[in-house]
Amino acid sequence: RRTGIGRRFLAVRDNERAAAAAGINVARTKLLAFMLSSGIAGIGGVMLGFKQVEVSSANFLYGFSLSVLAFAYLAGITSINGAMVAGMLLSAGALVPTTSNYFFAGTNIDNYLAPLGGIGIIVTAIIHPEGVAPFFGEGMRHAGDWIVHSVPGLETIRRNYRGARGVLVKVVLASAVVGFAFLVYNIRFTDIIEFQILIWVAIVYLALLAFARFLGPLSPTFPEAGSQWVSWAKRFGPTAVVGAILGYLVWPLRVDTYDQFWMPLYGAALALFARSIYRIIRYGRPSGDDDSGPPHHDLDDMDHLDTLPAHEGEHAPEMI
């Protein structure tokens, strides 16, 4: 999206005649797009073959193909983040259904993917035709900024992410993510899994805190982070408390095998998520400001282009 090839792809998709008038070889661009997509499909086919061992026409049902297309549209076909969201939503073995079945043991969420996806497509087409990922992009960015400013040391790491030590920071962060993933994968699923995860999260954070101190002075400091948490509690605490109470009271009525540790936390997260959706729909931004104008996008920050709506993100490289 940010290179000459990406801009040619966007130009051809928008208007082939205008792209040809600008000197773009439309046929060559389409052929390149076809070759890239075929290569990605080939890699996916090889991975699927290793997973299923035996591949036949029975593995590729017509209805499932429609589901793939539907969830791709639901997530957002004009956004890079939409591809990741679609992958997490798509099938019974994806991240969202698997996690939901863990939280809601016995509910078999994966059995309801088709009707939920159909309802989601209708709602998405009405509220935000660009897809789910661009719709929540501003909210995710807002949450990410809050986390950086509320956890000691994270601002220091982010400041050095694109500085002279950018390569070192990226290597350390990638190692932390991969290492934590292996730790979670190898945890034995016992009754104390929650505490094991919390312990490993604390270990990983302490390592990142030491690394941030190596990069320079801690930012934010512990008092600054504490003030952020106090501010968050005042603004979002009532919503989180209501969600936690509902999570404790409602889910036992639906499932007998619910988890007393996770359900209140999950209810609080869903309540905050619903609040964010309401704020985005009403005010155009997740922060809840009464300003009804559209959210501001800093086009000078190229990292934000992936989450911009199609009519903003596509032409931003040319404008810059």
Per-residue tens of pLDDT for the chain, all 320 residues: 788 999 999 999 889 999 999 999 999 999 999 999 999 999 988 888 887 777 777 777 777 777 778 878 888 887 778 888 888 777 656 777 777 666 666 666 667 777 777 787 788 888 777 888 877 777 778 888 888 999 999 999 998 988 788 899 999 889 888 887 777 677 655 555 667 777 878 888 898 899 999 988 888 999 999 998 998 889 889 999 999 888 888 766 666 666 677 778 888 888 888 888 888 777 777 665 444 334 444 433 434 444 444 444 444 444 33
Asked if residue 94 lies in contact with residue 87, where contact means CB atoms within 8 angstroms, the answer is yes
Rounded (5°) CA angle 134-85-57: 130
- Assign 165 to helix, strand or coil: coil
Q: How many residues does the chain have?
A: 320
Quick one: tokens of 162?
Answer: 């694109």
Asked if residue 275 lies in contact with residue 243, where contact means CB atoms within 8 angstroms, the answer is no
Reported pTM: 0.62
Residue 146: how many CB atoms within 10 A of its CB? Answer: 16
